[in-house]
């Protein structure tokens, strides 16, 4: 699924990486614990989270995640957005709660990330 389609489905505001909305993701993972993200994602994963601090971008960088949707209308600070831009990470915000955002994407065919390590 293209990120532009995710933006449309979630009625999301793009915060960084506008030029990369043609990227595709094959699955999604929803979490606020970045330690969980380390165990469950691959490079085609969309991360849905309410955590808006720089640690989220660092985790994304480490796991080669290139797209993040912040839920509940949350927006990161300028430092975090600058880090996202530097790492070419698309960030968006949606007013949907995590459960609803995940359900919308699942209904449209995006599946959950597979466990890559236990």
4 pLDDT band, cuts 50/70/90, is very high
Question: What are the residues whose beta carbons fall under 8 Å from the beta carbon of 12, sequence distance 6 or more?
Answer: 6, 69, 92, 93, 94
Domains by residue range for the chain, with CATH: 3-112 (3.40.1390.20)
In this structure, how many other beta carbons lie within 10 angstroms of the beta carbon of residue 21?
16
pLDDT for the residue 26: 93
SS3 state of residue 113: coil
Kindly report, residue by residue over 54-85, the tens digit of the pLDDT.
Answer: 999 999 998 889 999 999 999 999 999 999 99
The pairing of beta strand 90-93 with beta strand 45-49: unpaired
Q: How far is CA 102 from the centre of its chain?
A: 11
pTM for this model (two decimals): 0.92
Largest CA distance in the chain: 35
Strands 13-16 and 90-93, bridge-based pairing: antiparallel
Higher pLDDT, 97 or 37: 97
CB hemisphere CA count around 70 (13 angstroms): 24
């Amino acid at each position: 699924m293209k990120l532009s389609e995710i933006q449309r489905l979630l009625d999301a505001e793009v915060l960084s990486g506008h030029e990369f909305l043609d990227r595709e993701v094959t699955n999604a993972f929803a979490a606020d614990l970045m330690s969980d993200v380390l165990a469950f994602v691959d490079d085609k994963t969309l991360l849905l989270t309410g955590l808006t601090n720089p640690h989220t971008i660092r985790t994304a960088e480490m796991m080669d995640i290139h797209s993040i949707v912040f839920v509940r209308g949350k927006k990161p600070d300028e430092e975090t957005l600058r880090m996202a831009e530097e790492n070419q990470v698309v960030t968006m915000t949606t007013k949907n709660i995590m459960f609803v955002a995940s359900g919308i994407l699942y209904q449209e065919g995006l599946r959950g990330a597979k466990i890559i390590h236990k």
